[in-house]
Structure formats: C-alpha cells, structure tokens
Amino acid sequence: MEVQLVKIKREERHVLENLFCYYVYDMSEYMKWNPDKDGTFGGYDVSKFNPYWELDDHIPYFIKVNNELAGFVLIRRYPSDLTLYDIAQFFVLRKFKGQGVGTDILAQIVKAFPGKWQIRVLLENSGALSFWKSAVSSIVGEDYRLSKANDVDLLMFFIHFETAS
C-alpha cells in the first residue's frame, strides 16, 4: 500500500471543501452539531482555508492511498506559539481507517517538518486520543507530553513532542 502526502493546489481547494463536510459530520458526534437546513454539514466558513494558500506557515495536503483520495491534513504554525507545528485538522476516510494510514502520514509529516509539534484532541474523542498516542509513540517512543489546556474557548488534550532533523 502506497500512502502519500500530496500538497493541495489552489485549483483543488473545492475538493478539500467537499471533503471537509465529512470531517464536520464526524466531529458532530462530539461537538453536537446539527446539519444545515438542507441536511448537509456544509456550514463551515470556507474562508478559514484562505491562509493555506496565502501564508507560508500553513500547508494543506491530501492524503492518498494507492493514488486514491483518502483524506486530508492541514498543518500550520500554532497562532499563539509560532515555534510549534500544529495539526489543525486531520481526516482519514472510514474506508482507510485501521490500516496504518494515519500513522504513516504522521511519520511523513514530522520527517518533512522536524521540530516541536502539538496535536489537539477533543476530550470526548477517546478513539482519536488513543490513535494519536499510538501514532506519536511509534515515532518518539514515550518522549511526548500529554496535557489538558484551553484552545481558544475549548478544553482539549494537547500532545507535545519534538523530532530532530
């Protein structure tokens, strides 16, 4: 199985926006969001994607498996601490879950961007927390820190770790 990170071109942004509806749907389980009046989960403000094509410290990627679209990952420098890389959003289609795709992608990301990292996880999302702890451990062993802190107005888990170049 070939797992790839493919930078999202500006002209492919609409594909990210379409996939993002599924991410919002998945997150609705924890955030208690309702669908829009038309029955979709498309109520996300897509202007929030603008920095990914306007700023050098925001990088959008598609995740591909055997050249098939499998999800996306949005990487940025964390706004309140620009020394940290932050996984802003990470989404793998259900078809590809449980196959090591996410762990492989994390390894590719931190190899491409060595340094200080953080991953934020909703308190309610125990499955994501378990995945991230395992994926991070596969890269840095037990050399990471798990804490709780506020991200804007939401209490979340934070996983902090560092990779060398």
Q: What is the pLDDT of residues 108-123, one digit of tens each?
A: 999 999 999 999 999 8
Confidence (pLDDT) at 44: 75
SS3 99: coil
Give residue 119's domain range: 3-163
Summarised one tens digit per residue, pLDDT across range 28-80 is 666 666 667 776 766 678 889 999 999 999 999 999 999 999 999 999 999 99
Is the per-residue pLDDT at 105 higher than 90?
Answer: yes
Q: Is the pTM of this model over 0.85?
A: yes
As for how many domains the chain has, the answer is: 1
Average pLDDT over residues 13-23: 90
* CATH code, domain with 148: 3.40.630.30
Confidence at residue 38, expressed as pLDDT on a 0 to 100 scale:
72
* b/e map 67-99, b = 16+ CB within 10 Å: eeebbbbbbbbbeeeeebbbbbbbbbbeebeee
Q: 């909703």: which residue's tokens? A: 122
Q: What is the pLDDT of residue 113?
A: 97
